[in-house]
Structure 1
Amino acid sequence: MRRINSPLKCLPNRVWRSYLGGRLIDDLRGEPNPKDGNYPEEWAASITRAINGPGHPPDEGLSKVIWEGERITLLDLIRRFPQDMLGEEHLSRFGETTALLVKLLDSAERLQIQAHPDKSFARKYLNSDYGKTESWIILRVREDMPEPPYILLGFKPGVSEEGFREAVMKQDVPAMEGCLHKLLVQPGDVYLVKSRVPHAIGPGVFMVEVQEPTDFVVLVERRGSGGMVLTEEECSMGLGMETALKLIEYEGISEEELKERYKLVPRVMEENPGGRVIKLIDEEKAGCFSAEGFEVKGNLSVMRKTFYTGLVLEGGGVIRGDFGSLPLRRGDCLFIPASLGEHEYSGRMNIIACYPPTRAE
């Protein structure tokens, strides 16, 4: 009987976006001439389709692997072997979906100010059980930008729904920017970005983004890269801007309270001569995913009750288990199936492991 009981390496899976970036993803993967373009995101172990409209492949966003000599989407492999891939407990709660999307995102310019729906809005207007809460793990920042890298996150005190809507309708970008907190970021920072909270990633930020498995976004700025102007339909997910703006949470809070709510503090969970495990995102805080960092300095044993997505960000080595061994290097993306059981990372490398939710809402 055929089974999936070994780690799967995902093939490169770049996705088109309306902003420029991606040079640091090229660098991570060891590409000979890293450069920016309109493919600034790598979707890792993804079974989520990108919403890019006409002219783009219908399967854009879906990760592929080579399994038994066949090039196949991860989604199709899950459908063939749901229990091996996802585990019985996850299947009983969520069905044949990972309930998770992980990205590498590298911005050469500021992204448009945006917000994402919560589950309630998504069920009502978008026929989906998932909204888009996300979290950002900052990996690197570019030193050659005109100003220090930053993010925009959440409304400042005193911002009103009426005032922000007026700025959106007039496309007064400085006014929209002025409504949000501007926070400088550095490698190692971790932020939670709850659904409905307005935000934008500034130029020069390279991150792992962990999120619910959708591509839903309301863009309150219509301008794109290189003078591109998006239509209201494109910016509002086809709902019209009046309806789309209802998903935004119009709550102004101080910078201190914002950081208390949304800046996460990594903590060491396990340490031994073979390395250490660091909790980066706690599911109790995020609500719909979690993440850990594996700092491997020899042999680090891992036993998890669920599948996960693994990103090798520094160094190299091997992963070992009952299946045998698989060499790893910087830039590799792994899908670790639920059936794998205990396994060991050997070598010197840094890995971020991203996990699905353990409970359905």
Structure 2
Amino acid sequence: MWLPANQPAQFYAGGGSIEALRGAGKARTDHGPEDWVGSTTTRYGMATDGLTKLDNGQWLRDAVRGHPENWLGKAHAARFGGDPAVLVKLLDAGQRLPVHCHPSDAFAQKHMGSHFGKTEAWIIVGTPADGGNVHIGFQEDLSESTVADWVAEQDTTAMLGALNAVTVKPGDTVFVPAGLPHAIGAGVFIVELQQPTDLSVTLEWKDFLDSEAGGHLGFGYDVVLDCVDRSAWDNDRLKQIVRHAESESPVTDLLGPDAASFFRAQRIRGGASLDASFSILVALEGSGTIRTENGDVAVNKGDTYVFPHAAGPATVDGELVAIRCLPPEVTL
């Protein structure tokens, strides 16, 4: 199923790169920096904001819940029920994002009433010409009191300066484990895979959010700061999560085994053979045809599609280059 842009309002600027990919007039450019593609996840505290609506007026979430094995396959449905267990976004950072992190599954279950935390990964698809900046993980081990003081004082200089500054270019990927503090720099455009929640602990809330409460989601910083990874991330550790994954192969695994229990992503090209799976497709370049057991689908640059597991195996013809986003790896 072809999907139009789905851009819930956000607190930060962006959207131009999403429109440039999708085509003029096909996306918001005013504070629409996130396109939630094939989303069955709502924004934090909202009833429907963030959900994808199908052409027939039904929420994709409700369609999947109604026929989970059709959409997700038997093994996935047995493990996760009617939840795809993945959220895909196009994210266009029109300005630097604040320093923040996300809770783990265990922390979210204990403190936030959520089955999922929010491990995520970034597939870099656009940056300024000389590369884009992202900030990932503290350079040194930090005490609980140090981080708490920075947050209380909203010491942006200290928080940002304590993180590792990393230059990324198109073709790079970054796996971001839960708890890892990070900030995405202005001009970085990504396909982002996440666990299906909108749980963010915003350490740097001043000048970004309306209130301090938005930073700790109403739970209090005394609670949520316990989810922050305060350990040192040296170059050896960073090399495990930041890598270059460019390849001319028909199918390239972009995120590797460490991410597979959370989500998976492939760069696919003409000649690819694809297994049956619920999947969300983001076409980055060219055009081509996805040939499934149920018929052929023409795909052009900027298109986004959701495919049910029941579509079966598929092949890719043409000059298409796309990102195929997949749920966690599950076997019976």
Instruction: Give the alignment's TM-score, normalised by structure 1.
Output: 0.86
Q: Quote the residue 1:209 is aligned against.
A: 192
* Matching of residue 251 in structure 1 with residue 231 in structure 2: yes
Alpha-carbon contact 2:267-2:321 (below 8 Å) kept: yes
Deviations 1:270-314 (A, max 9, x none): 94xxxx111101243453111110022xxx242314211111111
Distance 1:352 1:179, change over 3 A: same
Task: State how far apart, in whole Å, the 2-side matches of 1:248 and 1:199 are.
Answer: 10
| CA-CA distance at 1:267 after TM superposition | 7.0
Do the aligned partners of residues 192 and 286 (structure 1) sit closer, same or farther apart at CA in structure 2, a change above 3 Å counting? farther
Q: Is 1:133–1:193's contact at 8 Å kept on the other side of the alignment?
A: yes
Deviations 1:23-47 (A, max 9, x none): 0001111014987421100011110
Q: Counterpart in 2 of 1:4?
A: none
Between the aligned partners of 2:131 and 2:267, the Cα distance in structure 1 is: 26
In the alignment, residue 139 of structure 1 is paired with which amino acid? V
Amino acid at match of 1:46: S
In the alignment, which residue of structure 2 is the partner of 1:59?
48
Partner residue, 1:108: 94
Quote the residue 2:202 is aligned against: 219
C-alpha change, 1:34 and 1:119, in structure 2 (3 Å) is: closer
RMSD: 2.1
Q: How many residues align?
A: 331
The residue aligned with 1:356 is 327
Distance 1:61 1:326 in 2: 26
2:95 aligned partner, one-letter code: E
The separation in 2 between residues aligned to 1:115 and 1:50, in whole angstroms, is 16
2:142 aligned with 1:159, yes or no? Answer: yes
* Aligned pair partner of 1:339 in 306, 310, 321: 310
CA contact (8 A) 2:120 2:192 kept: yes
> Unaligned 5+ residue runs, structure 2?
none
SS at the partner of 1:9?
coil
Is 1:321 the counterpart of 2:321 in the alignment? no
Does 2:174 align with 1:184?
no
What's the CA shift string for 1:83-142, capped at 9, x where partnerless?
A: 111111110011100000111000011001001000011001111111000011100113
Partner residue of 2:152?
Answer: 169
The change in CA–CA distance for 1:103 and 1:34 in structure 2 (over 3 A counts) is closer
Q: Which has the higher strand share?
A: 1
In the alignment, structure 1 residue 289 sits paired with structure 2 residue 263: yes
1:308 correspondence with 2:291: no
Partner of 2:177: 194
Q: Which amino acid aligns with 1:232?
A: E
Do the aligned partners of residues 35 and 83 (structure 1) sit closer, same or farther apart at CA in structure 2, a change above 3 Å counting?
A: closer
Aligned-residue offset at 1:71: 2.4
Does the C-alpha gap of structure 1 residues 195 and 286 become closer, same or farther in structure 2, counting only changes over 3 Å?
Answer: farther
Aligned AA (1:62) = L
- CA deviations on 1:178-218 (whole Å, 9 max, x unpaired) are 11111111111101110001000011100011110000001
The letter of the residue matching 1:313 is L
The secondary structure found in structure 2 opposite 1:138 is: strand
1:311 and 1:31, CA in 2 relative to 1: closer, same or farther beyond 3 A?
same
- Asked if structure 2 preserves the Cα contact closer than 8 Å seen for 1:218 and 1:236, the reply is yes
What residue is the counterpart of 1:5 in the other structure?
none
- Match of 1:27, SS state, is helix
Q: Could you say which residue in structure 2 is the equivalent of 1:29?
A: 22
Are the equivalent residues in 1 in contact too, given 2:19–2:27 (CA < 8 A)?
Answer: yes
Which amino acid in structure 2 is aligned with residue 343 of structure 1? A
- Kindly tell me: are residues 267 and 106 of structure 1, through their superposed partners in 2, closer, same or farther at Cα, counting changes over 3 Å? closer
| TM-score when normalising by structure 2 | 0.93
Considering only CA atoms, is the larger Rg found in Structure 1 or Structure 2? 1
Residue identity (%): 32
1:73 and 2:53 aligned: no
How far the C-alpha of 1:158 sits from its partner, in A, is: 4.5
Q: Identify the residue that residue 241 of structure 1 maps to in structure 2.
A: 221
Asked if 1:262 corresponds to 2:241, the answer is yes
